[in-house]
Structure 1
Amino acid sequence: MTSAPLARLTQRKDYLAANAGKRAPMPGFVLLVRARGDDDMTMRIGITVSRKVGNAVVRNRMKRRFRELAREILPEQGFRGCDHVLIGRAVGNDRDFSALRTDLARALARLRK
């Protein structure tokens, strides 16, 4: 099994740049994908959850769920050499994990077209 390495987005400018890329809105999150245009084939993941979603406990739970989704799905189905940003929505914590998994796979398939 050869999967692309996964790195984290750490700088605000990378999140802002990803906002100019392709977007796939889903019930629990919005997925942003943007090609970096460099020779590095590493996939990078960024997760952001607004205070509007809930208190710190709710936001941190959502981020943990998104990190697990990214570890599980992006190495196989993500875009090499791209930045992926998951933006949490309020209903993201209420959705079943398998539904989120299906949503992420569907969002990546939609962006692949």
Structure 2
Amino acid sequence: MTRFGVTASKAVGSAVSRNRAKRRIRAAIHSYLPEVNAGWDVLLIARAPLIDAEWPQICEVLQDLLKHSKILKTEE
């Protein structure tokens, strides 16, 4: 089982902004859960640009990050 943690520092903005950033990351993670290899502990840290990012861009960046880290299952 792979576990994900999401955090956002005060540099992201107000509590509302931090919570929104974390919700957006969690939603993006949820869309990739079936493709994730088991046995990982992943911590994602939200940054300020996430607040203004478009949804497809967030998903694309997360997918690139997971592929680069070899956390996503590869098609063989």
Same topology, TM > 0.5? yes
Residues matched between the structures, number: 70
1:22-101 map, 5 Å: 42-76=1-35, 78-101=36-59
Query: Would you tell me which structure has more strand in proportion to its own residues?
Result: 1
Name the amino acid aligned to 1:60.
Answer: N
SS of the residue 2:6 aligns to: strand
SS of the residue 1:81 aligns to: coil
TM-score after normalising by structure 1: 0.59
The alignment status of 1:104 with 2:62, answered yes or no, reads yes
Task: Provide the aligned C-alpha RMSD in A.
Answer: 1.0
TM-score after normalising by structure 2: 0.85
The unaligned stretches of length 5 or more in structure 1 are 1-41
Rounded Cα–Cα distance in structure 1 between residues aligned with 2:22 and 2:52: 13
Relative contact order, CA 8 A, sep 6+: which one is greater? 2
Rounded Cα–Cα distance in structure 1 between residues aligned with 2:55 and 2:31: 12
The unaligned stretches of length 5 or more in structure 2 are 71-76
